[in-house]
Structure 1
């Protein structure tokens, strides 16, 4: 029985042939893999072997370069044009983090206090960078992003990489401050015209 799933690249939409070749290299499947471009950044993947399908869904997270693939089982009546992906993966920087926290256990604990950790930069994990920590976390695009995390007695700022459409009013992703739907805007009051009743002078 052929199993199917669909995937979406978060930060860039790649060509079908490129994606197919990269998935074959990444997944190292025992059976056949077929890909179909569903448009709007979604791709349908068919697995000839059930074991391959179940392995791909259970393992991961999966990346092509630094682009996270959101992989899910096929859903009946799936419509790419109206599909809603509420969570995405983003890279964050923790600048000038004290060196005593540069170990896998501490970094994972810090990351989990921010969100679900998908990956820690390999250079960070090997402690070859001392200027900042870089990790990939999964965030809900409908909720405000954390701007800092409390580590011990100090507050560590969080920098988000590549979020050009981050609203600095509500801290959500997907729109800019000028078009924020969560900001209450007060319209100026209608201009009040002063009038005088008939028969009453200015005195």
Structure 2
């Protein structure tokens, strides 16, 4: 029997250090919360939302490496709120060395929460932020809230971690008493029983598809 060996090498060159510093300053990983996307769709979305000067590298397991034009631009993207396509959010993770997309999974995603019948005296950004931060982490409220004629519901976007589940309601206390506000999550994401990823059913999972041809055709779509 042939013995399998692992050969160890050490890399400590100035070029490697420069590459690490560059990626740390400008790069981040991105994955859509839905099914895997073809490069062309990611390229089109990035061009429309952020501009055509972002460099994109395709990784495995549905991940992409995004390289910004500057450190300031990366910071603006990483901390400027949520990013969605077709109602489903993008998972964005800061660049780290030795990142293995085969082992990585979606940890947090942006989701919209509807607050039906919220009394109008609570329709304030600071109240929305308190609610969002209590649930997980507030990102923003609906940009058109102040211009809406209808006050049937308000919308806030939060960063949500799939576990634990969000509560069904939250109590808002004030000097005038308290209000029990029910919560409705838009675009509730399902978890695939096969690959354990959020965003698609097992029947739609490409990872469980048998035959490389099926996967290749789906990616090229």
Indicate whether 1:111 and 2:136 are aligned.
Answer: no
Q: Judging by fraction of residues, say which structure has more strand.
A: 1
Indicate whether 1:34 and 2:59 are aligned.
Answer: no
- Answer yes or no: is the 8 Å Cα contact 1:102–1:127 preserved in 2: no
2:84 is aligned to 63
- TM alignment of 1:89-100, pairs within 5 A: 89-100=110-121
Q: Judging by fraction of residues, say which structure has more helix.
A: 2
What is the CA RMSD across the aligned residues, in angstroms?
2.9
Alignment deviations for residues 123-180 of structure 1 (CA, whole Å, 9 cap, x no partner): 33434331112221112222232221101312111111222538xxxxxx96xxxxxx
**Count of aligned pairs:** 167
- Answer yes or no: is the 8 Å Cα contact 2:81–2:140 preserved in 1: no
1:9 is aligned to 32
**In structure 1, C-alpha distance between the alignment counterparts of 2:81 and 2:158, rounded to whole Å:** 13
Rg larger for: 1
Alignment deviations for residues 87-123 of structure 1 (CA, whole Å, 9 cap, x no partner): 2222211111112222323322332222211221233
**In structure 2, C-alpha distance between the alignment counterparts of 1:9 and 1:59, rounded to whole Å:** 17
**In structure 1, C-alpha distance between the alignment counterparts of 2:136 and 2:39, rounded to whole Å:** 31
**In structure 1, C-alpha distance between the alignment counterparts of 2:127 and 2:72, rounded to whole Å:** 35
2:163 is aligned to 142
**In structure 1, C-alpha distance between the alignment counterparts of 2:97 and 2:62, rounded to whole Å:** 18
Instruction: Report deviation, 1:81.
Output: 2.3
- Answer yes or no: is the 8 Å Cα contact 1:12–1:67 preserved in 2: no
1:76–1:146 distance in 2 versus 1, CA, 3 Å? same
Gaps of 5+ in 1: 167-172, 175-203
**In structure 1, C-alpha distance between the alignment counterparts of 2:59 and 2:185, rounded to whole Å:** 29
Indicate whether 1:18 and 2:41 are aligned.
Answer: yes
Indicate whether 1:85 and 2:106 are aligned.
Answer: yes
**In structure 2, C-alpha distance between the alignment counterparts of 1:119 and 1:104, rounded to whole Å:** 8
